Structure 1
Amino acid sequence: MEKKAKAVVCRGVGEPVTVEEITVEAPRRGEVMIQLAACGVCHSDLSATNGTIPFPTPVVLGHEGAGIVIEVGEGVTGFQVGDHVVSSFVSMCGKCRYCQTGRPQLCDQAAKAATSLPDGSLRTRDASGQPLHVFSGCGVMAEYATLHADNLVKIDSSMPLDKAALIGCGVMTGVGAAVNTAKVDAGSITVVFGCGGVGLNAIQGCAIAGARMIVAVDTSDAKLEMARQFGATHVLNSRNEENPVKALLKLTEGGADYAFECVGYGEVAAQAYGVLRKGGTAVVVGVASPKDTTTIKTASLTFGEKTLTGSYFGSARPREDFPRLIGLYRAHRLKLDELITRTYRIDEAPQAFADLQAGRNARGVILF
């Protein structure tokens, strides 16, 4: 059945987000309707509002959600009413070469579901009946959402949904960059640039992997203090350094084994590469503007056998990794409670985005 729902909508690039009543259509074949319990306010949502990530508007924001299944469409066998689920902003068809080789984060179907459901259709309309795009096939910053089953992961019903929501993007992206993409070795030296929601989780990932030295780099002392809570052994405020790369090479006594760029700037990616020792790996996690570039000395790739690579969604295998992260949380090895700096009602979404822009939160979460 159709549902009326409050939702957070971006009407145009550079415009403040609005909270509107929308209509969410019932699920069709292969689709599921969920009632949201929580949705994280992620920097990628902000990037859609300011044009860093080009998105057609108007668009229902939100891709880091958790909720309960209230209706399933024809042909859906993996979910039933009452299931607790987390959204995956990458659709996973299970059939393409990437899904078949264990890299579902690169699924061919995901590109088709960037602003709609995989078949190109939409289940969301505004008050005037005009269709609304949905962020990454999800649009879960709303009281209700209809998603394709390929964008959902079932979780244990005893897991608190406000904590589970964070796994859907920020936690998976950051932790996964360390443990899945880089495969950080125990006893290694790591450097993480940027201590926002993703960076803090990259720090957690390095700690979980057993890194002996984890250096957090940011321009905010408050964020650096937070980084210590999530496992950083050393911190460096790059604003205070004339040459941050030189300072980090000295601090690490010759360079890092792994470095993570969690900001989304080509210049910072070059710094991450620059702090590597021979044989090191730099992982670009942040989403940069399409026009942004990175410059490195090409010969250093050869003579130093260094690696510069990217990590999308933490190289996630969501249906395997989400439950694994929940297990780490229950074993008190993954901090989720501490990530939630502030919660908001959906009507407070404009304030949540303002706080995100100002860097006030590790993670803000909208509760429904």
Structure 2
Amino acid sequence: MKAAVLHNYCEELQIENVDLEEPRKGEVRVKMKAAGICHSDLHVINAHLPLPVPIILGHEGAGVVDAVGEGVTSVKVGDHVVLNWVPSCGKCYYCQIGRPDMCDEAAKISAMGTMFDGTTRFSIGGKAVYQFPLTGTFSEYTVVPERAAIPIRNDVPFELAALVGCSVITGVGAVTNTAKVEPGSTVAVIGAGGVGFNVIQGAALCGAKQIIAIDVLPEKLEMTKTFGATHTINASEEDVISAVLDLTGGHGVDYAFEVIGRPETMAEAYNITRKTGTAVIVGIAAPNESVTVNAFSLPSQSKTLTGSWLGQGNPPVDYPKLLDLYAEGKLKLEPLVSKIYTLDQINEGFEALKAGKNIRGVIRFD
């Protein structure tokens, strides 16, 4: 089968024939139908998230169950599934306190690029090929743990269903689960990308009265209005802090979301939040980077500064709910897909991502 393989950091992915083992006990083989091209994959390519190579990237994907290993009960051959890149163990401390997004076991194995038993199912010429993170969606087929394959309704196009696996649950969940945005509140979103658009429509779903989209690309800022933005700020033309204060009567917003992954915009999100407000960091920066905020403001302004991973969600519950919202016309997925690519065009898709051209580029396998 064909897969896109990263052999060395900062190089293009190579389309190669890769061997794939049969699913073992508790594992599922999925015939991939669609996979989103996400900044998190780009972070691995750029060595911001160093993982072992060679590796098959891709974590936002949907497909059809093709085979199941011994003991699998939650899915069967023919089921439509969205892949879960944080397949929580259900047993660790964080799973037990209701935070499966923080699962210790899933985090550890994801950093290894292997399955839960420490081995890989992909290989080239007998040499192990790793997968990111327990999914490896940039391949025609993949083998994943059973709890990484979430069954979904079968009436949603795969290229749309794939999006709930990362960008939708991350963006909407940051609003509904992490910040718990209240009706009538004011919201600012720094970064109009795949996740940022979903933060915006999550805020609209919650009934925010003012949603301020902040970016540097006029065409993306204009499109944020489709998802519910009431105001836009072009950060290349205006001072963001001054502009936000002008729009909020000098107070700042109740909730600010940073969805880029840069220390300076993370600090900016904190600074545009009003006293006692909440700033949520969704974007992923390199592990060696730090954010600087005014120390005196921490107690004196009593703001909440927090992060959100996977939208603080629970995929087995949230993926189906999000797709139900789409089916009911309450969640917009079609406008998120900017361009469809073949697997052979994947590097073109990453170039468009780096240039900020797409909201979401999607690989379609059929």
With the length of structure 1 as denominator, give the TM-score of the two structures.
0.96
Question: More deviation in 201-210 or 156-165?
Answer: 156-165
Q: 1:134 aligns with which of 131, 140, 144?
A: 131
Tell me if the contact between 1:91 and 1:113 (Cα under 8 Å) persists in the aligned partners: no
Aligned to 1:59: 55
Q: Secondary structure at the match of 1:239?
A: coil
Q: What's 1:32 paired with?
A: 28
Instruction: Deviation per CA, 1:1-24: give whole Å up to 9, x if none.
Output: xxxx21111111110111111111
- The 5-angstrom pairing of residues 98-177 of structure 1 reads 98-114=94-110, 115-126=113-124, 128-177=125-174
Identify the match of residue 3 of structure 2 among 7, 10, 19.
7
- The runs of at least 4 aligned residues of structure 1 exceeding 3 Å deviation read none
Q: Report deviation, 1:47.
A: 1.1
TM-superposed deviation, 1:74: 1.1
Q: Distance in 2 between matches of 1:20 and 1:213?
A: 48
Question: What's the % identity of the aligned pairs?
Answer: 47
Unaligned 5+ runs, structure 1: none
Indicate if the aligned counterparts of 1:112 and 1:120 stay in contact, CA closer than 8 A: no
How far apart in 2 are the matches of 1:261 and 1:251?
A: 18
Distance across 2 between alignment mates of 1:20 and 1:225: 39
For residues 150 and 27 of structure 1, what CA distance do their matches in structure 2 show?
A: 13
Structure-1 residue corresponding to 2:43: 47
Q: Is this contact kept in 2: 1:264–1:288, CA < 8 A? A: yes
**1:202: Cα distance to partner?**
0.6
Letter matched to residue 64 of structure 1: E
* Rounded Cα–Cα distance in structure 1 between residues aligned with 2:87 and 2:10: 28
2:205 to 189, 201, 208: 208
Shift of 1:245: 1.2
**Which amino acid is the alignment partner of residue 47 of structure 2?**
G
Whole-angstrom distance in 2 between the partners of 1:21 and 1:175: 37
Distance in 2 of aligned mates of 1:139 and 1:212: 39
TM-score by length of 2: 0.97
Counterpart residue identity of residue 367, structure 1: R
Whether 1:285 and 2:282 are equivalent positions in the alignment is yes
**Structure 1 residue 342 corresponds to structure 2 residue 339:** yes
Amino acid at match of 2:296: A
Number of the residue aligned with 1:311: 308
How many residue pairs were aligned? Answer: 362
1:162, 1:244 → 2: CA distance? 34
Distance (Å, rounded) in 2 between the aligned partners of 1:97 and 1:245: 39
| 1:324 Cα deviation after fit | 1.0
1:184 aligns with 2:186: no
Aligned to 1:363: 360
Alpha-carbon distance in 2 for matches of 1:113, 1:81: 26
CA displacement at 1:283 relative to structure 2: 0.3
Q: How far off its partner does 1:112 sit? A: 2.7
- Counterpart for residue 235 of structure 1: 232
SS for the counterpart of 1:44 is helix
Q: Supply the RMSD in Å over aligned alpha carbons.
A: 1.0
- Does the 8 Å contact 1:112/1:118 carry over to 2? no
Deviation for aligned residue 1:239: 0.9
- SS of the residue corresponding to residue 308 of structure 1 reads strand
107-116 vs 343-352, greater mean Cα deviation: 107-116
Q: CA deviation at 1:298?
A: 2.1
Q: Which residue of 1 aligns with 2:75?
A: 79
Contact 1:219-1:238 at 8 Å conserved across structures: yes
Task: Give the Å deviation of 1:247.
Answer: 2.0
Amino acid at match of 1:119: D
Distance between the aligned counterparts of 1:117 and 1:204, measured in 2?
A: 34
Structure 2 unaligned residues grouped into runs of 5+: none
Confirm whether residue 332 of structure 1 aligns to residue 329 of structure 2.
Answer: yes
1:302 and 2:299 correspond? yes
1:112–1:119 CA contact under 8 A, matched in 2 = no
Note the alpha carbon deviations across 1:99-139, whole angstroms, 9 max, x for none. Answer: 2222111111112321111221100012x221111011110
